[in-house]
A and B are shown apart, each in its own frame.
Chain A
Amino acid sequence: MEANIATKTNAQTWGGGDNNPLGASYGKMMMWFFILSDALTFSGFLGAYGFMRFKFNDSWPIAEEVFTHFPFLHGVPAPMYYVAFMTFVLIFSSVTMVLAVDAGKALDKKKVTFYMLLTIIGGIIFIGSQAWEWKNFINGTYGAVELNDGKIIQFVNKDGKQVALESFAKANHSERTQLTRDKGMWFMSESAIPPFTVNDVIEGFEAHPELSIRTEKVNLETKEKTIVPRDQAMSYLKEARTVVMGANLQVNEYGMPLFADFFFFITGFHGFHVLSGIVLNIIIFFNVIIGTYDRRGSYEMVEKVGLYWHFVDLVWVFVFTFFYLV
C-alpha cells in the first residue's frame, strides 16, 4: 500500500517533480507559455490598432510627420533616426543578454555579471529614450486647430510644408489667464491652456497671405494630406473650436486622438514590460554576484529571465514596424 502513496513533498510537485514534459525544465517551459500568452495580448493590441488604421485608412496621421525629433537637432525634421537608435539599443541589450546566458552555460560568473550589467544599462537607456519620445509627442511640433466636429486643421506655407503656430500667430492673452492654485482655492487648477486663442490664430492667418490649411484627409494616390486653397480656408476656420498643442489622450495635433491613444497605450505597455524586465534583470544580477547560481551549479535562472528580455525585444520589433514603418 505504502508504495502507491506519493512520497514527494509539495515543494517538488510545484517544481514539476521529475517529469520534464517537452524536454524543458518546469520554469523554462512555463516562461515559454507565459511569453506565448503575452504575445497574444500584444497582438490583440496591435490588431486593434490595425483595425483603426484600416477603418480610417484615408485620414490616419502619417507617422514620419509625427516622430521627427532627434537630440540636438532642433527644428530639423529627422524622421526614423531616433527610433532606429532605440531599436539598436534594444537589439544590443539582447545580444549582451544572450552572451550572459552563454557565459552562464560555461559557469563563468565574472562574464555573466559583466554582460548582465550591460543588459541592464541598455534597458535603462531604452526606457529613457522612450520617455524622451513621449515628451516630444506630448509637447508637439507645430500646433493645430481643432474643429467643432473634432477634425484637426494644420497650417502650411506655399510649399505645402507645415508651419508652427507661433511663427504667425500673436498671443494677445485676450481670453483669460491660466487658473492655478494661488489664483483660486487650493483645490482649483486646470490643465495648461494653449498659448494662443482661436482668434489669435485666425488673425495671424489673415495677416499672412502665404499660408493655407491642410485637412487630415489623405489622398490615397499621392499618400499626402489634402491642402485646402486659401480662399476656402476661412470656411474651415469658422468652425474652429480650440487650439491644440501636442498630444494627449483627448486631443492630438497630428490628427486623430485615437492614434495618440494607441501610441500611449501600446508603447506604454511595452515600456512597462521593459521596466519589469529591468527589475527582474537587477534581481538576477545581484543573485549572480552573491553566487547563488554558482552554488546551485546552474545558471538557468539567467536563461529564463533572458527569455523574457528577448521577448521584450521581439515585441519592439513589431511595434517599430507597425507604428513607424507601415
Chain B
Amino acid sequence: MGAHAQEHKSHKKLIWKVFGILSIITIVEVVLGIVKPEALFYTKIAGTSILNIIFLVLTLVKAYYITWFFMHMADETKSLRRSVVWTAVFLIIYLATLLLIEASYVNDVLGPLVKWNY
C-alpha cells in the first residue's frame, strides 16, 4: 500500500492549471455575451453569427478539458476513449445536423404563414 502511494504522482498542478483555463474561457464567454461586439454579433457565417460560432467552439474546448483532465480520459486506454468519445461525437453530430436542417426548413415554410399584424 505504501509503495503504491509513493508511486502515485500528484496531478495538483495540472488540476489548477485546467481550472485556470476553464475560468478564463468562462469569463471570455460572459464578457462576449454581455458586450456582444457588433462585428461578431451581426456578421453571419454558416447560418449563424460569428459570435455563436465562437461560443460553440469555446464550449467544446471546455468540454475537452473537463473530459480529458477532470475525468482523466487522457489516462484511459485508447480503446475505452474511442468507444466513448467517438460514439458520442458521431451520434450527437448526426442528430443535431438532421434536427437543425429540418427545423430551418420548417421555419422557411411556416414563418410566412404566421400573422404578426392585427
- Please indicate the chain B residues that have their CB under 8 angstroms from the CB of A320 in the complex: 59
Q: Min CB distance, A295 to chain B, in Å? A: 11
Which chain B residue shows the least CB distance to A79?
B34
CB <8 Å contact, A33 and B84: yes
- Please indicate the chain B residues that have their CB under 8 angstroms from the CB of A51 in the complex: 99-100, 102-103
- The yes or no answer to A22 lying at the interface (CB within 8 A) is yes
In the bound complex, what is the Cα–Cα distance between A84 and B8 (angstroms)? 35
In the bound complex, what is the Cα–Cα distance between A236 and B118 (angstroms)? 6
CB <8 Å contact, A321 and B59: yes
CB <8 Å contact, A22 and B79: yes
CB <8 Å contact, B70 and A317: no
- The yes or no answer to A24 lying at the interface (CB within 8 A) is yes
- Please indicate the chain A residues that have their CB under 8 angstroms from the CB of B23 in the complex: 88, 91
- The yes or no answer to A56 lying at the interface (CB within 8 A) is yes
A36 touching B116 in the complex, CB below 8 Å, given contacts A52-B103, A107-B5, A311-B71: no
- The yes or no answer to A226 lying at the interface (CB within 8 A) is yes
Which of A57-65, A189-197, A246-254 lies at the binding interface? A57-65
CB <8 Å contact, B84 and A321: no
- The yes or no answer to A223 lying at the interface (CB within 8 A) is yes
CB <8 Å contact, B84 and A56: no
CB <8 Å contact, A318 and B80: no
CB <8 Å contact, B8 and A105: yes
Which chain A residue shows the least CB distance to B2?
A107
CB <8 Å contact, A317 and B99: no
- Please indicate the chain B residues that have their CB under 8 angstroms from the CB of A289 in the complex: none
- The yes or no answer to A310 lying at the interface (CB within 8 A) is yes
- The yes or no answer to A128 lying at the interface (CB within 8 A) is no
CB <8 Å contact, B42 and A40: no
Interface magnitude class on chain B: 35 or more
CB <8 Å contact, A54 and B107: yes
Within 8 A of B (CB), among A21-72: 22-24, 29, 32-33, 35-36, 39-40, 43-44, 47-48, 50-59, 64
In the bound complex, what is the Cα–Cα distance between A36 and B82 (angstroms)? 12
CB <8 Å contact, A40 and B8: no
CB <8 Å contact, A32 and B116: no
Q: Min CB distance, B22 to chain A, in Å? A: 5
In the bound complex, what is the Cα–Cα distance between A52 and B56 (angstroms)? 18
Interface magnitude class on chain A: 35 or more
- Please indicate the chain A residues that have their CB under 8 angstroms from the CB of B59 in the complex: 317-318, 320-321
- Please indicate the chain B residues that have their CB under 8 angstroms from the CB of A64 in the complex: 33-34
CB <8 Å contact, A35 and B84: yes
In the bound complex, what is the Cα–Cα distance between A313 and B70 (angstroms)? 10
Within 8 A of A (CB), among B63-104: 63, 66-67, 69-72, 76-77, 79-80, 83-84, 87-88, 91-92, 95-96, 99-100, 102-104
Q: Min CB distance, A220 to chain B, in Å? A: 10
Of the candidates A57, A147, A307, A317, the one having the most CB atoms from chain B within 10 angstroms of its own CB is A317
CB <8 Å contact, A238 and B70: no
A317 touching B62 in the complex, CB below 8 Å, given contacts A40-B88, A87-B26, A94-B70: yes
CB <8 Å contact, A54 and B103: yes
- The yes or no answer to A324 lying at the interface (CB within 8 A) is yes
CB <8 Å contact, B107 and A55: yes
CB <8 Å contact, B87 and A36: yes
- Please indicate the chain A residues that have their CB under 8 angstroms from the CB of B63 in the complex: 314, 317-318
Can you identify 20 A-B contacts, CB atoms within 8 angstroms?
A22-B83, A24-B76, A40-B88, A47-B99, A51-B100, A54-B100, A54-B106, A64-B33, A84-B27, A88-B23, A92-B19, A99-B15, A102-B11, A106-B8, A236-B118, A310-B71, A314-B66, A320-B59, A321-B56, A325-B29
Which residues of A line the B interface, CB within 8 A? 22-24, 29, 32-33, 35-36, 39-40, 43-44, 47-48, 50-59, 64, 79-81, 84, 87-88, 91-92, 94-95, 97-99, 101-102, 105-107, 147, 149, 215, 217, 221, 223, 226, 232, 235-236, 238-239, 297, 303, 306-307, 310-311, 313-314, 317-318, 320-321, 324-326
**6 interchain residue pairs of minimum CB distance:** A54-B103, A23-B77, A22-B80, A51-B103, A321-B59, A84-B30
* Known contacts A36-B88, A313-B70, then 19 further A-B pairs from the complex at CB < 8 Å, ordered by chain A residue: A32-B84, A40-B88, A43-B96, A44-B95, A47-B99, A48-B99, A50-B100, A53-B103, A54-B107, A79-B33, A84-B26, A99-B15, A102-B10, A106-B8, A226-B116, A314-B66, A317-B59, A318-B63, A326-B56
